[in-house]
Structure 1
């Protein structure tokens, strides 16, 4: 069964399945993005971070 990450809540629930280096990287990228004026948690860049986490967890 593949893990799907579509929200921050999904990401939070699955952090224990990710290497610490990936968690730090994703966290920094999301924080940096959200500091930009006009950014949103629904932006494609954030969705890309979710897909990256999914791929790591699902072994892709």
Structure 2
């Protein structure tokens, strides 16, 4: 669970969204690409959001909405 702007409705992550990745040869815990795309919905994206989605498309071949 993660706190949200509405304390009565925290973000609840499904267990399947937790995966591992690799940064400079080290294994690290992270959120799946699909979960990252899911959290980038429902708002007008900033330039850094567009960059993040472009990276997910390029690296994982995943479809994004912007």
TM-score by length of 2: 0.30
> Whose RCO is larger (CA < 8 A, sep 6+)?
1
Larger radius of gyration: 2
Q: Which has the higher strand share?
A: 2
TM-score by length of 1: 0.32
